[in-house]
């Protein structure tokens, strides 16, 4: 329900790309690849994970606070401050 339908395709794309990266790591492990190469490929997923979390949180705040009919100007301002903090933590 809720807001996700609108942004679904963008977020779904992120989840699928991340799953693809993980499948690459899985294949390397199954084939006995060099351990540091595995480590590097796994580390590369970390940015994708952080971006996914950032988008999910920002969307949640956007739809349930910033764009809520029930939000006043002050509520909206605080919501945007929270979004800025999230962006600085998960960039």
> Interface with a second copy by CB under 8 A: which residues?
1-5, 8, 11-12, 15-16, 18-19, 22-23, 25-26, 29-30, 32-36, 38-40, 42-43, 45-47, 49-50, 52-53, 56-57, 59-61, 63-65, 68, 70-72, 74-75, 78-79, 81-82, 85, 88-89
Cα→Cα distances 24→4, 55, 75, 84, Å: 28, 23, 43, 33
* Min separation Cβ 19 and a second copy, Å: 5
């Amino acid at each position: 329900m809720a807001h996700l339908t609108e942004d679904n395709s963008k977020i779904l794309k992120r989840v699928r790309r991340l799953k693809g990266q993980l499948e690459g790591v899985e294949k390397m492990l199954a084939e006995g690849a060099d351990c540091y190469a595995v480590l590097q490929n796994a580390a590369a997923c970390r940015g994708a994970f952080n971006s996914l979390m950032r988008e999910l949180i920002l969307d949640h705040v956007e739809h349930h606070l910033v764009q809520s009919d029930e939000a006043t100007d002050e509520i909206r301002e605080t919501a945007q401050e929270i979004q800025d903090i999230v962006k600085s933590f998960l960039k």
